[in-house]
Structure 1
Amino acid sequence: MQQFSKKMTFISVVVILAACSSTPPASPDIHYAERYSVSTHGTATQIDADWWQAFSSPRLNELMQLAQQQSLDLLISTERVRQAELQMRIANASLFPSLTASASSGESRTRVDGQGSERGESSRASVGISYELDLWGGVAASRASAKAGYEATRYDQDAAMLSINAAIASGWFQWLALQERIATAHKNIAIAERVQAIVDARFRNGAATAADVAQQKTNLLTQRAALLPLELQARQTQSALAILLGKTPQEFVLAADNLLAITVPQIAPGTPADLVARRPDLAAREADLVAANANIQAARAALLPSIGLSANAGKTASELFALNPATQTSGWTISLAQTLFNGGRLVNQKRLSEARRAELILQYHKAILTALQEVDNALASADVSARQEISQQEIVINAERSLRLTEARYRAGTDDLLSLLDAQRSVFQAQDTLVQQRLSRLNAAVDLYKSLGGGWSLAKN
């Protein structure tokens, strides 16, 4: 009895030491600034999960709703989550004992030279149960690793959904901008055609030269040629949106909207320290760290002896398919196994798990720094593009006024064709640049929503 007590004391000490060897996953040491580099107005507000509704575009809302139902990328990420959940269930099966049953029946013949043959029959049925004691926490660590892997996959799905929604919003705004630029190009072609008619009339009356006619004709053809790449890009953008929405490009049709009428939301980003809890991709990397730490625990446990319990019961009879009367057997076993030599495989497996965790800590650190950079870039882009659009609106107003005055002076014969062509090109460039500036503002808002997690929070998951 005393010897048994000593053994139990030894086992308890080993269990305590094994538990003490488990350390929580390390986190990167990051010194967060009090605010982002670009100052913003207003206090931090909770971003709505349906952040795209802040643009006040009903057609954009329809596209987002369609994506939730048919986007192949989202369906693929859903299947990955399902696979991770099944992996977690497989790991959780180690909580329960293993139960086996077997039955057999057969006959045998034995023949000795010079003698007759002997015939034997036998039937057997048995049931067994076995269970491995998780004294060192290896099985629990494997379950924890599978659970963390499942959570990481789920967070990756949320990150994928955020990226897809941002891509749809950016693609929609890009297509609208191209429609505006195409419309602007058509207007300027109409202006060029009107100027061409004026030049032709002046040439017939001897007030213009053939060089003036050829110069304006070249300008008109150049503007018509510039329209073709815009139409091609619009077609390609529409096809890309169709793929994101799970539609075939041939059947997909977009309804136009006014890009300049779409609301540009004002977004308060909060503090840099809040960012870690707002982005699903960072939560996924943190879950990877938890899984890596659990894998280290499992690798450490593999170095220690394994203890198993098993029990069995059965019946054996000497006749086919007859178990009554029969010989009954039962028993139980406790086993202890320890690997003495395997070429350092288990030790190196533990070291590999530790190296993997060290890598994940560095990757997590880099992911946080990259996320902070993305927010700063989006804030800077939103600030600069807003100021550029205000300036560009003034440029458009003055360019249009200059064109009207120059055209009137050319009709009156007090200005030359070169001045008129310059004024025409200035209007075209100013209007085209204004559309692109509004597109930049909208894309900056989308990038800011994306970099801030798009209303996602760890508490919701």
Structure 2
Amino acid sequence: MKTRRLNRQLRSQARPGFALATLVLLGACSAGAPVRMEDPAPALPAHWNNASHEVSADAAAAGAIDAQWWQAFGNKELDALITTAQAQSLDMAAAVARVRAAEAQARVSAAGRWPMLAASAGAGRDGSLKHGDHSTSYALGLNASYEVDFWGRQGAQAASGLAALQARRFDRDTVRLTVQANVARQWLQTVALREQLAIAKRNLQNAQDVLSFIEAQARNGAATALALAQQRALVAGQQRSLAALQQQVEDSRLVLATLLGQNDLAVDTDSLAAVAPPPLPDAGLPADLLVRRPDIASAEAGLAEADANIHV
């Protein structure tokens, strides 16, 4: 009787302990599962402040920026410069290399979710020199292993690798867009400075012509010394401004050459009149501009990668 009572008491004490262990085990399983990130749905404004008209979501999607947006300027020199910059940019080459490395790492991270197979083969030959007997043996082996993703570690690792790959791709797009924008901006600035330089040269020539006329008048007594001194000061000031503007043109041209990875570069376009201003794209909804930015998309992918790494 005492033995039965003792067994009952032990079983009654073991049941709460077993239940507690089961709860802890289930809690560990739920803690290891990756948290699914959901897109927030905040209240967004339907149009820009002081907008002349409202733009629907369909119109915003139709007005998406073209990947080769610079071709809208209609200038072959600009097209060639941006194409060269994308091909020779070291930043672009590094970004592409990081994408390739992330692709390889993503394949490695996802490999643990699949069975692993290993094959082996061997051959041997032995015999006796005394009797001349020989025998040959062959061996083949095939091993298979599979790790059950009970805690969700393999799935989280694969999700982390995929999110990292997406982030590197968005980083590459950011670098590409930055290179394109920098080359286009610097080229437009160089062309504008060249046009200003041409105008400054014409203004200086006109001022020198006026100075020659006033000097002729002064020799004949028809112009005062004050008028002559003022015109000479005007010519000297324009000469000084022209020298500074020439230096700005040279500096801008060298910066453009650096963006293309070249030591020197000749710019043939002399006026912004050769550049057709493209039509302004439809801005769409305010939040659409954020969706189009690859740097923000990269930050979002990095957040997903960090969330998955918690459960690896």
Task: Give the TM-score band, short-chain normalised.
Answer: 0.7 to 0.9
2:96 alignment partner, SS class: helix
In structure 2, the CA distance between the partners of 1:20 and 1:78, relative to structure 1 (3 Å rule), is: closer
On the 8 A contact 2:156/2:308 being kept in 1, the answer is yes
2:223 alignment partner, SS class: coil
**Percent of aligned pairs with the same residue?**
36
On the 8 A contact 2:70/2:184 being kept in 1, the answer is yes
1:314 alignment counterpart: none
TM-score by length of 1: 0.52
On the 8 A contact 2:34/2:156 being kept in 1, the answer is no
Matched, 1:262 2:280: no
- Cα distance in 2 for residues equivalent to 1:138 and 1:64: 44
1:210 CA drift (Å): 2.2
- Cα distance in 2 for residues equivalent to 1:216 and 1:257: 29
On the 8 A contact 1:40/1:268 being kept in 2, the answer is no
Aligned pair partner of 2:98 in 80, 85, 88: 80
CA deviations 1:268-310 (Å, max 9, x no partner) are 1111232343222222112112112111222xxxxxxxxxxxx
CA deviations 1:25-52 (Å, max 9, x no partner) are 3656643211123536785423221111
Matched, 1:280 2:294: yes
1:140-219 equivalent positions in 2, closer than 5 A: 140-219=155-234
Letter in structure 2 aligned against 1:256:
T
1:20 CA drift (Å): 8.2
Q: How many residues align?
A: 267
1:290 alignment counterpart: 304
1:22 alignment counterpart: 34
1:171 CA drift (Å): 0.5
1:50 alignment counterpart: 68
On the 8 A contact 1:63/1:245 being kept in 2, the answer is yes
In structure 2, the CA distance between the partners of 1:171 and 1:217, relative to structure 1 (3 Å rule), is: same
1:10 CA drift (Å): 5.5
On the 8 A contact 1:25/1:289 being kept in 2, the answer is no
1:297 alignment partner, SS class: coil
Aligned pair partner of 1:36 in 20, 38, 48: 48
1:226 CA drift (Å): 0.5
- Cα distance in 2 for residues equivalent to 1:159 and 1:40: 31
1:105-124 equivalent positions in 2, closer than 5 A: none
Aligned pair partner of 2:266 in 246, 249, 253: 253
1:404 alignment counterpart: none
On the 8 A contact 1:148/1:291 being kept in 2, the answer is yes
1:196 CA drift (Å): 0.2
In structure 2, the CA distance between the partners of 1:64 and 1:290, relative to structure 1 (3 Å rule), is: same
- Cα distance in 2 for residues equivalent to 1:205 and 1:163: 63
Matched, 1:69 2:81: no
5+ residue gaps, structure 1, are 1-5, 104-125, 299-461
2:258 alignment counterpart: 243
Query: Per chain length, whose mean CA-contact separation is higher, i.e. which structure has more relative contact order (CA < 8 Å, sep 6+)?
Result: 2
- Cα distance in 2 for residues equivalent to 1:20 and 1:77: 33
Quick check: which one's strand share is greater?
1
Letter in structure 1 aligned against 2:272:
L
1:169 CA drift (Å): 0.8
Letter in structure 2 aligned against 1:97:
M
On the 8 A contact 1:72/1:244 being kept in 2, the answer is no
- Cα distance in 2 for residues equivalent to 1:253 and 1:72: 21
1:133 alignment partner, SS class: coil
Measured on the aligned residues, the alpha-carbon RMSD in Å equals: 3.2
On the 8 A contact 1:15/1:136 being kept in 2, the answer is no
- Cα distance in 1 for residues equivalent to 2:153 and 2:33: 12
1:222 alignment counterpart: 237
5+ residue gaps, structure 2, are 1-17, 123-140
Letter in structure 2 aligned against 1:32:
L
2:8 alignment counterpart: none
Aligned pair partner of 1:97 in 116, 135, 140: 116
Letter in structure 2 aligned against 1:60:
L
1:228 alignment partner, SS class: helix
On the 8 A contact 2:106/2:165 being kept in 1, the answer is yes
1:318-397 equivalent positions in 2, closer than 5 A: none
